[in-house]
């Protein structure tokens, strides 16, 4: 064991200021699925390299191979011209490769400085907390991160946890950083700080791999982009020649559209049509809230009156933890208000059990699809069976299998009836959730309906939601994507520090003005 570590340390380029990363002819199979099929990728030192592709294209598999979380079947990893033998995340870190996951891998009960020191290959048996804190503060100052070393990680926002993970990886000698969907769930200010930090690291010669579904982020940040589809590389595009690094709004409109169109065509093999939400033509209300008082351990919020019409879409904006989830859970009957009344299609359901809300045509889809929306370990068919009307104590497996086949075909789920839901990509998990929704439906409540989804899956989800609106379903959804809120909402409610804005017509908003309101300006 000691001899193996010594061999790795002699070859590691972790202390080098520039690291060129090459993945050559990578293959990886999961059963019959060829997740990576002869994938080759080169990331030049001192560049930010975008990695794009639809859900299930093989992006996550590839970066997990590079970061040591899974092993490759064949192929080669080469760092600065020398083969690298990476079998674990510890191996990868010794080679100077660190990965920032979409959900940061930290210890929430511990403080920021305790997390900073955890897992370091150079941590001595007797910890020098003062020295670690000096190093922590110096790195934070370098990137303008405002982190309290003694704050508990459980009290930090997603963006602050990302910042903590970045400085931890840098302190451990990372010369190559992999970021998986890093702008999901963070504020505009945190996104600016993140992009500034990544540009600075690239200028210092570090290699950055930026996995994202957001074209505007890739255009603004990356020097070049590699696109994957169905486990293979289908194309690369040099964005530096087109002015990479400019803010999204600084691109000439025609040039920005041309770059985005080329990337989308590589990702999906065709252009994608944007779904259009029609105007509301119904006056009948689906959901009415009167004098609602919501309380949690941290917040107290009051809603005087809110009436949501059938077919209307209400977007809910705000920083994470501002009360959006409590609001949606209360509207779904999963939490009870401290005071006030909830009416669904004219029926008073205040303080009624969740089952009464379900019978009234209310459906809630949580943000965490696998932990809260679906049941890990069960197949698509078993989920369908649980949703089917009960006739005694026995399950009609033949009917469930037939219904599962229909759902897979209708919702274009890439899986089989016996596929366990945890084996599905994020997009296919969301498609499965949508397939399980009852019909007809009066009120649909959703948290981050397209978080982590590729462009095609995002547009497909909204096509299904707009179809529900046309059938009279009222939709209330929370999202951290301000463009999504402005584009698809009829009206918008903003949550900020325990305050709730009156509903505002989406046509009167822009993403920038909505961002200012999230900061409390209303």
Residue 1 has pLDDT above 60, yes or no: no
**Domain extent for 247:** 2-268
In a 13 Å sphere around the CA of 362, the CA atoms on its Cβ side amount to 27
Give pLDDT, residue 53. Answer: 84
Confidence of residue 57 (pLDDT cuts 50, 70, 90): confident
Residue 272 has pLDDT above 70, yes or no: no
Give pLDDT, residue 191. Answer: 85
Residue 10 has pLDDT above 50, yes or no: no
Q: Mean pLDDT of all residues in the chain?
A: 85
| Residue 369 falls inside a structural domain | no
Q: Alpha-carbon distance 395 to 391, whole Å?
A: 8
Report percent pLDDT > 90 for the chain.
52
- Of the three residues 268, 290, 311, the one that is the final residue of a domain is 268
| Residue 137 falls inside a structural domain | yes
Instruction: Name residues whose C-beta falls within 8 Å of residue 70's C-beta, 6 or more positions apart in sequence.
Output: 28, 61, 64
| Residue 367 falls inside a structural domain | no
**Rounded to two decimals, what is the model's pTM?**
0.68
Q: For residues 40-65, give the mean pLDDT.
A: 91
The verdict on 77 and 184 lying in the same domain is: yes
- Of the three residues 268, 297, 318, the one that is the final residue of a domain is 268
Of 65-74, 412-421, 466-475, minimum mean pLDDT range: 412-421
The verdict on 245 and 323 lying in the same domain is: no
Of 209-213, 229-233, 271-275, 484-488, minimum mean pLDDT range: 271-275
CB 196 within 8 A of CB 221: no
Residue 351 has pLDDT above 70, yes or no: yes
Structural domain total, the chain: 3
Question: CB neighbours (10 Å) of residue 192?
Answer: 13
Question: CB neighbours (10 Å) of residue 370?
Answer: 14
| Residue 165 falls inside a structural domain | yes
Residue 86: CATH number of its domain: 3.40.50.300
Instruction: Name residues whose C-beta falls within 8 Å of residue 182's C-beta, 6 or more positions apart in sequence.
Output: 100, 102, 162, 194, 210, 212
The verdict on 142 and 225 lying in the same domain is: yes
Query: Tens digit of pLDDT for each residue in 412-464?
Result: 888 899 999 988 877 788 889 989 988 889 999 999 888 877 777 788 889 99
């Amino acid at each position: 064991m000691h001899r193996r570590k010594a061999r790795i340390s002699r070859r590691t380029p972790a202390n080098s200021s520039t690291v060129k990363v090459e993945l050559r002819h990578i293959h990886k199979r999961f059963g019959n699925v060829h997740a990576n099929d002869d994938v080759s990728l080169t990331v030049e030192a001192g560049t930010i390299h975008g990695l794009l592709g639809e859900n299930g294209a093989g992006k996550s598999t590839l970066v997990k191979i590079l970061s040591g979380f899974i092993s490759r079947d064949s192929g080669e990893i080469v760092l600065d011209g020398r083969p690298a033998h990476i079998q674990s995340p510890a191996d990868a870190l010794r080679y100077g490769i660190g990965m920032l996951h979409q959900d940061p891998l930290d210890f929430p009960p511990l403080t920021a400085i305790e997390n900073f020191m955890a897992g370091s290959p150079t941590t001595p048996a007797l910890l020098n907390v003062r020295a670690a804190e000096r190093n922590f503060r110096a790195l934070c100052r370098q990137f303008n991160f405002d982190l309290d070393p003694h704050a508990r990680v459980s009290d930090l926002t997603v963006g602050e946890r990302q910042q903590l993970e970045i400085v931890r990886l840098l302190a451990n000698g990372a010369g190559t950083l992999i970021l998986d969907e890093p702008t999901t769930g963070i504020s505009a200010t945190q996104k600016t700080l993140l992009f500034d930090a990544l540009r600075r690291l690239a200028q210092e010669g570090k290699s950055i791999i930026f996995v994202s579904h957001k074209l505007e982020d890739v255009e603004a940040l990356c020097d070049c982009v590699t696109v994957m589809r169905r486990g293979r590389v289908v194309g690369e595009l040099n964005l530096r020649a087109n002015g990479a690094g400019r803010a999204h709004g600084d691109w000439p409109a025609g040039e920005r559209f041309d770059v985005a169109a080329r990337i989308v065509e590589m990702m999906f093999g065709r252009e994608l049509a944007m779904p259009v939400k029609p105007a509301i033509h119904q006056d009948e209300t689906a959901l009415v809230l009167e004098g609602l008082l919501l309380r949690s351990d941290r917040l107290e919020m009051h809603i005087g009156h809110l009436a949501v019409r059938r077919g209307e879409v209400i977007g809910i904006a705000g920083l994470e933890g501002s009360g959006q989830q409590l609001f949606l859970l209360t509207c779904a009957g999963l939490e009870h208000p401290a005071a006030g009344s909830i009416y669904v299609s004219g029926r008073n359901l205040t303080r009624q059990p969740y089952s009464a809300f379900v019978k009234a045509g209310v459906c809630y889809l949580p943000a965490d699809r696998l932990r809260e929306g679906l049941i890990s370990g069960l197949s698509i068919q078993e989920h369908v069976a649980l949703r089917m009307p009960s006739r005694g104590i026995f399950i009609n497996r033949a009917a469930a299998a037939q219904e599962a086949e229909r759902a897979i075909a209708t919702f274009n789920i890439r899986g089989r009836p016996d596929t366990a839901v945890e084996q599905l990509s994020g997009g296919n998990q969301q498609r499965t959730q949508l397939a399980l929704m009852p019909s007809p439906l009066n009120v649909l409540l959703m948290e981050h309906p397209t978080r982590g989804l590729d462009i095609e899956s995002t547009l497909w989800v909204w096509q299904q939601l707009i179809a529900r609106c046309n059938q009279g379903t009222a939709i209330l959804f929370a999202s951290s994507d301000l463009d999504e809120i402005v584009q698809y909402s009829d009206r918008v409610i903003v949550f900020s520090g325990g305050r709730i804005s009156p509903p505002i017509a989406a046509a009167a908003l822009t993403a920038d003005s909505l961002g200012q309101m999230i900061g409390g300006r209303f």
